[in-house]
Structure formats: structure tokens, C-alpha cells
Amino acid sequence: MLVRSKLADVEFEFGKFEYKKDHLIIHSAESQAMKTKVYVSPDDIMDALAQMFKKPMVWLYLIGFPFFLIRYRRRHAAKRQLTK
């Protein structure tokens, strides 16, 4: 996942997940140079869901997700074939 901010664009790969004191903690993958932990509270999840489902574009994306997934994987498979 690419995380973009004003400070930097960072490629974040999911590592292990853990639960601690009502928080979901997402660790970056061991292979990443910059070790990161993301703390997600129950309120964070509720806020994100509330914001997401208010937006029509999210609903359209969810409905079209199977198509987007297939198209995405085909494009990346074609790119990999070209680089071999």
C-alpha cells in the first residue's frame, strides 16, 4: 500500500497484526527498512466506515470491485511479462 503525505510517500507492506488494549496494531513487514506500527482504535474504524459509506464513489468502487481486481491483476501480470 502506498501511503502519501506532505512529508514523504512511503510504501507500507502489512506484517503481523496484534490486538492490545482495545486497539488493532498493524506492524510493517519485516523486510521494510523503516519499521512502523499503526494503532487503530474502535473509534477510528467507526469514523472511517461512517465517512466511507457517505460517499457514492465508495459504493461504486465496492460494486465494481471484482472488475477492478481482475483488470489490476491482468495489467500487472502483463508488466511482469514485459520485464522478464
Residue 34 sits in the same domain as residue 7: yes
Which residues is 3 bridged to in the sheet? Answer: 10
Query: Model confidence over 11-69: pLDDT tens digits?
Result: 888 899 999 999 999 998 888 877 888 899 999 999 999 999 999 999 999 999 999 99
Number of domains in the chain: 2
CA dist., res. 52 & res. 77, Å (int): 30
Q: Where are the alpha helices (DSSP H) in the chain?
A: 42-53, 56-83
Residue 30 sits in the same domain as residue 59: no
For 81, the domain range is 54-84
Residue 5 sits in the same domain as residue 21: yes
Residue 75 sits in the same domain as residue 62: yes
Return the C-alpha cell found at 19: 490486538
- Does residue 83 carry a pLDDT above 80? no
Which residues is 14 bridged to in the sheet? Answer: 28
Question: Whole-structure pTM over 0.75, yes or no?
Answer: no
